[in-house]
Structure 1
Amino acid sequence: MTTDAVRDDMRDPELPGRLLTAERDVLIPLLRARPDTDFALRTACPGWTVRHVLAHCSAALIRVVESRFEKGVFSPECNDRDIAERSGRSNQEIVDELERGMTEAGAAIAKAGGVLDGVALGEWIHAGDVREAFGEPGAYAGAGLPLALELLVRISRDRGHVALHADVDDLDAPLVLGAAPGDKPPARYIGGAGVLLRLYSGRPVVGARYELAGVAEAELNLFG
């Protein structure tokens, strides 16, 4: 796995869309093959089942596609309303909507100039939540991982997040995340890519093998 694109300072507006479609091609067939009982499994998101996560994801993407960004959009209250509005739909109807959103949202995200890039990364993380609930191996990894890492680097820099130098397993070169460190040396991470993404999304890392110095785990969370 190379990191040339990760080190490039130019924003790639098509990157979020590529991540969404790559994940669509893996996640949607998985969902269509699962029985309805699996949609009731609990996820890493407190209080949310697989169905809740998918309803939230499909709603968020359709909001992007349809440019519906009223006050309080993507707040916990808004998310709960979006999920409740889909309570009468079948699991497969929610999957249908999710497939449409993952197909169409990339163009809208590209036109937004970067402000919606986090939606694509959040969708990829939630796909990991679903895979983990299903007991799938490599829940926060897979074919979309290089794109997710590239987007993580971009978003962490754009948001001026804590500076981190990450020596990630199987990468040819370190990842440089967050703002320029200035006078203070950057925090350091050594470990797997999947664990790194768990840390940046506030997911549990119990039992994972990694090293983190110069920053607390909670400080890395981009979505908390």
Structure 2
Amino acid sequence: MATNITWHPSLSRNERNTYRKQRGFTIWFTGLSASGKSTIATALEQHLLHLGLAAYRLDGDNVRFGLNKDLGFSETDRNENIRRIAEVAKLFADSSTIAITSFISPYRADRNTARELHAAPSAVHPDDEPLAFIEVFVDIPLEVAEQRDPKGLYKKAREGKIPEFTGISAPYEEPENPEIKIRSDQRSVEEAVKEIVDYLDAKGLLKLNSADGRGLEY
């Protein structure tokens, strides 16, 4: 644990939101490998950018090959992987950017920790509104995921070539109360994106009222 550190005063979250004309929050995709998480997350990021909103997607390609390249796939390493991702997502959200994460994140406790991190009050600006955390469970039957298996990972896991593979030799704990649940084998990518955007709009997360009361809508 770091010691002798002091939080330096900075802009409040509300000030950043006003200057950037949008709210920051995190959309947390979870689900089995080959469930379609990354496909939907990529399409969502593109759609939000087309709306003129700042959004950024975190997934295995830009995290596992960089920030978390020192981690394996043991339960301990998976926990640390998600902890780091949650902290980075919170930083993006705090900067008034929409953070989109796409990871299996198999353990319920780790996802709950990520949610609690976003809800925690600021040490310097306790009046700042909490950061919204939207859990999107991309649900799919295991047999359908195995049929898709674009990278051949399930086949290798069944053959014992990949130890601790989620859904085969390691557990996946389904979310109990996700904000959004999508059966990706029953809905198109476009339908999934629309459902998420409709939810965000209904919650007022895609619009921001300025100090003079004028609505800034996208």
Band the TM-score falls in, shorter-chain normalisation: under 0.3
Larger Rg: 2
Normalising to structure 1: TM-score of the pair? Answer: 0.26
The structure with the greater share of residues assigned to helix is 1
The structure with the greater share of residues assigned to strand is 2
Normalising to structure 2: TM-score of the pair? Answer: 0.26
